[in-house]
Structure 1
Amino acid sequence: MKGSGARLRNPKPWGILGLLVPLVSVTVLIAPAQGQHDAHMMGRAAAAKLDAKDDPAAHVLTVRLGPLHLPAHAGMAVEQAPGLTLTVPFEGWITAYHPRLTDGAGRALPNRLLHHVAFYNTGRPDFLCPAKPEHIFGAGGEMNDWPATPGFGYRVHQGERILISTMFHNETETSHPDTYLEVRIEYQPLVPGGAGLKNVYPTWFDVKNCGRSGYDLTPGENVTTGRFSLGYSGALIGVGGHLHDYGRQLRLVDTARKQDIAKLDAKLDPRGRIVSVPVVRFTDRGGYHLNKGDVVQVTAIYDNPTGKLLPEGAMGIVVGYFLPDDDRQMAALRKNHASARK
Structure 2
Amino acid sequence: MPPGDAADARIFSDRDRGVLVIDLAPVDLPAHTSHHELAQPPIATLELPVDGYIHGFRVEVVDSADHELPDELIHHFNLIDPDHRELFLPISRRLLAAGRETGPVRLPGLLFGLPLKRGEHVVASAMIENPTPTTYRHARVRLLMDFTPVGRPWPLFRASPWQMDVAFPVGDKSFALPAGRSSRSYTGSPSVPGKIVGLGGHMHDYGRLIEFVDATTGEVIYHAAPVADSTGHIASVPTSRLYGWTGLGVHVVPDHRYRVTVYYDNPTGQAVPDGGMGVVGGLFVPDRGVEWPPADRTDSLYQQDYRHYMRLSGGHEMQMPMRMGAHEHVTAHEHH
TM-score when normalising by structure 2: 0.70
Deviations 1:128-156 (A, max 9, x none): 212x2221112345525322321321111
The letter of the residue matching 2:95 is I
Match of 1:327 in 2: 289
Q: Within 1, Cα distance between the matches of 2:33 and 2:228?
A: 20
The letter of the residue matching 1:241 is G
Say if 2:289 is the partner of 1:300.
no
Cα deviation for residue 263 of structure 1 reads 2.6
* Counterpart contact for 2:207–2:262, Cα < 8 Å: yes
CA, structure 1 residues 106+142, in 2 after alignment: closer, same or farther (shift >3 Å)?
closer
Say if 2:153 is the partner of 1:195.
yes
Q: Within 1, Cα distance between the matches of 2:283 and 2:238?
A: 15
Cα deviation for residue 158 of structure 1 reads 0.7
Identity %: 25
Pick from 107, 121, 124 the counterpart of residue 81 of structure 2: 121
Measured on the aligned residues, the alpha-carbon RMSD in Å equals: 3.7
Q: Within 1, Cα distance between the matches of 2:184 and 2:114?
A: 30
Cα deviation for residue 290 of structure 1 reads 1.9
The letter of the residue matching 1:195 is P
Cα deviation for residue 215 of structure 1 reads 3.1
Cα deviation for residue 190 of structure 1 reads 1.3
* Counterpart contact for 1:64–1:183, Cα < 8 Å: yes
Cα deviation for residue 339 of structure 1 reads 11
Pick from 259, 262, 283 the counterpart of residue 222 of structure 2: 262
Say if 2:65 is the partner of 1:106.
no
Pick from 121, 137, 159 the counterpart of residue 161 of structure 1: 121
Q: Within 1, Cα distance between the matches of 2:224 and 2:161?
A: 18
Q: Within 1, Cα distance between the matches of 2:184 and 2:58?
A: 30
Pick from 295, 303, 317 the counterpart of residue 279 of structure 2: 317
Deviations 1:294-337 (A, max 9, x none): 22111234455666655444432211211122433x35x33x85
Deviations 1:64-111 (A, max 9, x none): 445463765847454433211222110111111233567884244248
Say if 2:248 is the partner of 1:286.
yes
Say if 2:50 is the partner of 1:90.
yes
Cα deviation for residue 226 of structure 1 reads 0.9
Say if 2:193 is the partner of 1:233.
yes
The letter of the residue matching 2:222 is A
Cα deviation for residue 56 of structure 1 reads 0.6
Which 5+ residue runs of structure 2 have no aligned equivalent?
Answer: 303-336
* Counterpart contact for 1:91–1:158, Cα < 8 Å: yes
* Counterpart contact for 1:59–1:188, Cα < 8 Å: yes
CA, structure 1 residues 135+176, in 2 after alignment: closer, same or farther (shift >3 Å)?
farther
Q: Within 2, Cα distance between the matches of 1:315 and 1:295?
A: 21
The letter of the residue matching 1:290 is V
The letter of the residue matching 1:214 is K
Say if 2:172 is the partner of 1:210.
no
Q: Within 1, Cα distance between the matches of 2:41 and 2:235?
A: 24
Deviations 1:115-140 (A, max 9, x none): x432111122223212x222111234
Query: Within 5 A, what are the aligned runs for 1:59-78?
Result: 59-65=18-24, 67=27, 69=29, 72=32, 74=34, 76-78=36-38
> Which SS does the other structure have where 1:327 is aligned?
coil
CA, structure 1 residues 141+109, in 2 after alignment: closer, same or farther (shift >3 Å)?
closer
> Which SS does the other structure have where 2:198 is aligned?
strand
Cα deviation for residue 54 of structure 1 reads 3.5
* Counterpart contact for 1:253–1:262, Cα < 8 Å: yes
Q: Within 1, Cα distance between the matches of 2:63 and 2:209?
A: 32
> Which SS does the other structure have where 2:106 is aligned?
coil
CA, structure 1 residues 241+148, in 2 after alignment: closer, same or farther (shift >3 Å)?
same
CA, structure 1 residues 209+303, in 2 after alignment: closer, same or farther (shift >3 Å)?
same
> Which SS does the other structure have where 2:71 is aligned?
coil
Deviations 1:156-191 (A, max 9, x none): 111111012333468x7x557447644321111112
TM-score when normalising by structure 1: 0.69
Which 5+ residue runs of structure 1 have no aligned equivalent?
Answer: 1-43
The letter of the residue matching 2:176 is L
How many residues were matched structurally? 288
